[in-house]
Amino acid sequence: MSKSNNQPLPVLAILGGTGKEGPGLAMRWASTGYPVIIGSRLTEKAERTAAELNEKLGIDSIQGLENGAAARAAEICVLTVVHTAHKSAVEGLREDLQGKILVDATARVDFRDPKPPTPPSAARMAQDKLGPGVRVVAALQNVPAHILKRNLEGRLDSAVLVCADDVEAAERVMELIEAGGMRAYFAGDLDNAVVVEGLTSILISLNKHYGVKTASIGVTGL
Ligand SMILES: NC(=O)c1ccc[n+]([C@@H]2O[C@H](COP(=O)([O-])OP(=O)(O)OC[C@H]3O[C@@H](n4cnc5c(N)ncnc54)[C@H](OP(=O)(O)O)[C@@H]3O)[C@@H](O)[C@H]2O)c1
């Protein structure tokens, strides 16, 4: 349960972690020893999802709490509420998130009619609403929910572009992403994250055209 330098692993809260994207992330991190809390608007729903994930992994460390309580109990929070609830969720959790790193996984793209969203990025909007007491990091917008749940112990063939104004916060999140079996690349500040959100529109279009569900991002030349 600790890093090699004997620092305890940070507590993670997956806010809106009861849907499609959150549980796969929770399982990947919990299975490598991170303390993970599933957040929901409803405590019972969070507890139910946590119990299901614990059962799948054969552990009992994943907790379920209401989103605000989950955020307060964590050091790093990951926002995976449905994209249409992004604004209201950020506003509602403003006080609970102070002092935290917030990983914003939001891609404002409609699966049925994929189009790139317009600036500013969801993560930039979150940073503006939350203020300087929260360090927002945009990441994971291009990692499909169903691949996260596969091969939990293995590496995923998926590059994760990480955008943040605060490079130290980005590095903490990149470490987390690597621990979850993905490759993380620093990709500029929060304004760049709108392009990363837009890549989700490209990936959905590739999947539809080629009849697959596995299109992913790769980075070469570094
Ligand atoms: N699905 C993917 O493959 C994928 C991939 C990459 C990134 N993402 C991003 O991850 C985020 C979550 O996607 P998802 O597919 O997991 O979404 P989802 O399953 O549709 O919903 C996630 C959770 O959002 C919460 N929620 C719903 N309405 C809400 C509201 N009005 N206020 C607050 N919370 C609300 C629900 O939790 P409770 O009812 O428990 O509160 C729900 O379980 C999105 O921003 C999406 O762009 C998704």
- What sign does the CA torsion over 149, 40, 176, 216 have? positive
As a whole-number percent, the residues of the chain with pLDDT over 90 amount to 91
Instruction: With a cut of 90, say whether residue 2 has pLDDT above it.
Output: no
Q: Using CA atoms, how far apart are residues 51 and 175, in angstroms rounded to an integer?
A: 26
Task: Kindly state if the Cβ of 197 falls inside 6 Å of ligand 1.
Answer: no
Buried b (16+ CB within 10 A) or exposed e, 23-52: bbbbbbbbbeebbbbbbbbeeebbbebbee
pTM given for the model: 0.97
Residue nearest to atom 11 of ligand 1 (CA): 80
Which of 48, 81, 140 is the pocket-test mutation for ligand 1 (most atoms within 8 Å of CB)?
Answer: 81
Residue nearest to atom 42 of ligand 1 (CA): 19
- Quick one: which atom of ligand 1 is closest to the CA of 200? 6
pLDDT band per the 50, 70, 90 thresholds, residue 157: confident
Instruction: With a cut of 50, say whether residue 192 has pLDDT above it.
Output: yes
Task: Kindly state if the Cβ of 107 falls inside 6 Å of ligand 1.
Answer: yes
pLDDT digits 0-9 by tens, 129-152: 999 999 999 999 999 998 998 888
Residue ranges of E strands in the chain: 12-15, 36-40, 63-66, 76-79, 101-104, 135-138, 159-164, 183-186
Q: What residue has token string 């998130």?
A: 97
pLDDT digits 0-9 by tens, 193-217: 999 999 999 999 999 999 998 898 9
Q: How confident is the model over 90-114, as a mean pLDDT?
A: 97
Which pLDDT score, from 0 to 100, does residue 153 have?
Answer: 83
Instruction: With a cut of 80, say whether residue 1 has pLDDT above it.
Output: no
Which pLDDT score, from 0 to 100, does residue 5 have?
Answer: 63
Task: Kindly state if the Cβ of 40 falls inside 6 Å of ligand 1.
Answer: yes
Query: Is 124 in contact with 111 (CB distance < 8 Å)?
Result: no
Q: Which of 87, 68, 74, 64 is nearest to 176 (CA)?
A: 74
